[in-house]
Amino acid sequence: MEPQNLPTRKHGLTAIDGALALIVILLIVQMWLLTATLESYLAGYREVVLPAAIVSGILFIICAVLYLFVHRIDADARETSSKHVAEISE
């Protein structure tokens, strides 16, 4: 079996794609939040600025955690495939 067709790798790719989709959604929300906050701030409404910064920070933390998740899956899958390649070559 080719390394790219290993079940671990396929599952890994699916998980990464899912995490990637989630990050994209969170990023769109963050972009909207930034533009809405800027618009409100320039219009003189300052009370929204602090909650918006907090929410944006939380969204960034979630994105960072998802990145760590992607990194871990990547590490696991590549480790598995390199073991598999080593076994075949033996």
Partner 1 sequence: MKLFRRASKEPLWKDEFSINRADEQYVNRRQFTKFLVLTSLGMFVGNTWILVRSCFSKTPVYPEKNICRAQDVPVGGVWLFRYPSEKDACILIRPDEETYVAYSQKCTHLSCAVYYAPTKNRLECPCHEGYFSVKDGRVLQGPPPRPLPRVVLERRGDDLVAVRMEIQKES
Among 46, 86, 87, 89, binds partner 1 (CB under 8 A): 46
Give 36-60 as a 3 state SS string. HHHHHHHCCCCCCHHHHHHHHHHHH
Q: Which residue, 12 or 87, has its beta carbon nearer to partner 1?
A: 12
Q: Which residue, 60 or 89, has its beta carbon nearer to partner 1?
A: 60
Residue type, 57: G
Distances (CA, A) of 65 to 9, 32, 49, 52, 77: 21, 21, 24, 20, 18
Binding site for partner 1 (CB under 8 A): 2-4, 9, 12-13, 16-17, 19-20, 23-24, 26-27, 30-31, 33-34, 37-38, 41, 43-46, 49-50, 52-53, 56-57, 59-60, 63-64, 66-68, 70-72, 74-75, 77-79, 81-82
